[in-house]
Each structure stands twice: as C-alpha cells, then as structure tokens.
Amino acid sequence: MRVLVLGGDGYLGWPTAMHFSSAGDEVWVADNFAKRQWELEEGVEPIAPVPTLHRRVRRWKELTGKTIELRVGDLTNHRFVYNLFQAAQPEVIIHYAEQPSAPYSMQGRTTAVLTQMGNVTGTLNVLFALRRHCPDAHLVKLGSMGEYGTPNIDIEEGYLTVTHNGRTDTVLYPKKPHSFYHLSKVHDSNNIAFTCRIWGVRATDLNQGVVYGIDTTETLLDDELATSFHYDHVFGTVLNRFVVQAVMGQPLSVYGKGGQTRGILNIRDTLQCVELAARNPAKPGEFRVFNQFTEEYSILNLANLVQETGRTRGLDVVIENVANPRVEQESHYYNAKHSKLTDLGLQPHLLTSEVVGSMMDRVERYRDNVNLDTMEPRIKWVGGGVEAG
C-alpha cells in the first residue's frame, strides 16, 4: 500500500512508519516538529535524546535499504496538505499529527486555542485534501478513549442505540471529555463522521487508551531509530512517571484517590491495531469507531504493579496520594467495550511485571538524564492560565 503517516516524528508516528515500511509498503511521513518546540518552551525532554526525523529516516535506509519519503510542513497550511496528498497519492492516511497532551491544553487560553485550532483545522484540511486528491483513500485517525469520559453506563464502540418516546435510533455515543485536548478529538470525530455521511469518505476512528512502552521490533534495531519516552507532567504518561519515580527513589505520586480507571495498551499493540484497520478498510461512506485498548487499570492499580515490581528488584518503592490537579472523578464506574479489533485478529501484549521491569531497565540506563522537577504537577485544571490578550 501507499501509506502516509501524518505526525511521523512523534512517539507513535515514527514506529508506525517503520512498521509499514518493514512490511514492504510505500511510506511517506510528514511533520512540522511543533512538539519539539513545545518541549523546549515547557523545559521538558524525553529521558533519552531522540534523533531528528531526517536522521532516523536516513539511518532506516542505511540499515534496511528501504526509503521513507519525508515532507516538512504544517497541516494548518491547506496548500501544504493539498500538495502533499497530490504527490503521495496515499491509499491509507494515518493521522497522528495533533497536539497530544491534556495538561498542555489546560494551561490557559493560549494553549487551549492552539490545541483546538491546530487539531481541528489540521483534520479539516486533511479531509478536504483527501476529497480533492485521493477520494478513495482510507483515513485512519487517532482518537482517544478520553472522548467518552467516565459515564455511569457501559461505553460502546462509537455508537449507542437509544429508545426515546417510543422511537429508536442509533447515534454517535455521547461524549463527556475532561480537557480541551479531548474536546478537540470530539470535534475531529464529529467532522469526520459528517464527511463520511455527506461525501462518502471512508474512515476509521481509533479511540485509543493510554499507551505505554517504547520498544518495537524496528526501534530495537538501532539506538538511532528510537522513539520518545516522556515522564514529565506535560507530555508524560502515568506509567512512565511511576517507573521513573520508582527507579529514582521517589514516591509514586497518585493523583487523588487513584480510582481513576482507563484503558491501556502496549505500543506494539498500537501498531497492530493501526495495521489491522489499514489492511481491513472501512467501506465508502462508513465511519467506523474502534475502542483501541487491551486492558483496564486504575491509577492505584498501576502504582501497585510498579511498587511490586520495584520491590522484587530491591527498590524501596512507596506510594503517595497527592492533591489532584485535574477535575475528574476519582472513583467511578468504567466498562468500555473493545471487541472489534480483537475480531479482526488483535493479539494483545498484556502489562506484566516483566514489561514494567524492562521499562525500569531503560530508565536505569538513562537515569543521569532524569529531571525530577519536571514531574511535579504544575498545571491545574482550575484557577490558572487566564492570560491577557
């Protein structure tokens, strides 16, 4: 296939590009490197240096003989997007190219507007470029389980059949997002669903849970093919933060009660899910929604797993409940359906002490790079960031 990966410099974008290239597909990647700029502005960085995308593309070709076409540009520039789609003529568009952090979006007006305008405008430009230059292409868009929030009913895969006043209809599942970032994902989903219905676009919305891990078959080939590992309070994920805190002898900082429950999955399973969606495309006019995760964990259960793993390695790991900087339910019902990708053949890599241990090994290797100050939660959902202008 001709595969275009938008956001090809990112944590998921680069492993995805290598994964499809390794399989023999013709791969193009595009990125504007905005996240690297945001990291500089926030004073955070991955635990290990991540080579530039140009360098990684070059190294990939040296090691495998396979070419990945690279283009640099911003999805909010519709002329760049139109020219990219016309040149690449993709059969599959894998869209990761968005501001990816809930905390970043909640700092204040500037980052909220940047997140919403960048994410929503970029996706709209993708849809218009697809319609103009490759109307038969299949859009695989990375959404988020955070779009649903934590409703007091079961979370279905995208749709809900309701009966009201004696009449029945099937509608997109009601959304209850917890951040401006997740709201941008909701807007994307609605815009994509609309173009499927009106233009006949074929699309798959992957509502992804929290991803952990950094090793894939391709990243392990060479250090210069690595992807990023963030543990900071802006772009880091909770499991990464806990693992770093355990290795560095710091308490595991559980926000609030720790009963917040989320779907999670290994990065290897992200690649599996995206490939399954790409090789089993939606029909013209079909808006598919897959809930992309393999397990459900509460924050406290993740902390307990890291604590137990650390203690088997001789680490004195303690758990500390801290004031929750977010506005969220800390104890709630959570039952999200996630069968569609399994029906397509997903073989999950589940979270185990061995997996956590391998993450600890990586952190130990780069422990001198750890900046403990960047893990303190400084972004509050309420009471901050209302700048003038």
For residue range 362-387, list pLDDT tens digits in order: 999 999 999 999 999 999 999 655 55
pLDDT above 90 (res 114): yes
Residue 388 pLDDT: 40
What average pLDDT does the chain have?
Answer: 97
Q: How many angstroms separate the CA atoms of 180 and 107, rounded?
A: 10
**Residue 286 tokens, joined:** 């079909």
Task: Say which residue the tokens 């060479």 belong to.
Answer: 222
What tokens appear for 356 in the block? Answer: 């956590």
Q: What is the pLDDT of residue 383?
A: 66
pLDDT on residue 379: 97
Model confidence pLDDT, tens digit, residues 16-71:
999 999 999 999 999 999 999 999 999 999 999 999 999 999 999 999 999 999 99
Q: Does domain 2-375 have CATH number 1.10.3720.10?
A: no
Contact 320, 236 (CB under 8 A): no
The domain limits of the chain are 2-375
C-alpha 209 chain-centroid distance: 8
Phi-psi region of 314 (alpha: psi -120 to 50; beta: other; left: phi over 0): left
Among 257, 263, 229, residue whose Cα is nearest residue 243: 229
For tokens 């079961």, name the residue.
154
pLDDT tier at 339, thresholds 50, 70, 90: very high
pLDDT band at 389 (very low <50, low <70, confident <90, very high): very low
Phi, psi of 365 (to 5 degrees): -60, -35
For 201, the 3-state DSSP assignment is coil
Q: What is the pLDDT of residues 131-158, one digit of tens each?
A: 999 999 999 999 999 999 999 999 999 9
Tokens of 150: 């934590």
What pLDDT does 384 receive? 57
Q: What is the pLDDT of residue 8?
A: 98
Q: How far apart are CA 71 and CA 205, in angstroms?
A: 24
Task: State the pLDDT at residue 385.
Answer: 55
